[in-house]
Amino acid sequence: MGEVNSMVRPELELATLIVNTLNLEVSPEDIDPDAPLYGEGLGLDSIDMLEIALAISKAHGVKLRSDDESNVRIFSSLRHLSNHIQHLKAA
């Protein structure tokens, strides 16, 4: 933290959505966009991912898919997840 934060606007919006949805005790600006969301890093688990998926579905009208629970980890970072949402919205 304290480094230059290079989050782009959709990433910051997503960070805000995640922090608000899960009542996390970090401020959205402090989330490292390249750090893992799941497990290490922000320390989210599969229950969080379900709540985030629901919030994303409501906010952006897109549905996350993983095919299998083990693949939930593909959303390895805020940046990755944000890009994935933009990609789904454009499709």
Binding site for other proteins (CB under 8 A): 21-25, 39-40, 43, 45-47, 49-51, 53-54, 57-58, 63-72
Phi-psi region at 15: left, alpha or beta (left = phi > 0; alpha = psi -120 to 50): alpha
Nearer to other proteins, 8 or 20 (CB): 20
For other proteins, the closer of residues 12 and 64 by Cβ is 64
Measured from the CB of residue 48, what is the shortest distance to other proteins in angstroms? Answer: 8
For residue 79, give every residue at least 6 positions away whose Cβ sits within 8 Å of its Cβ, in sequence order, or none.
11, 33, 34
Minimum distance from residue 77 beta carbon to other proteins (Å): 17
Supply the minimum distance, in Å, between the C-beta of residue 6 and other proteins: 21
Burial 55-76 (b: 16+ CB within 10 A, else e): bbeeebebebeeeeeeebeebe
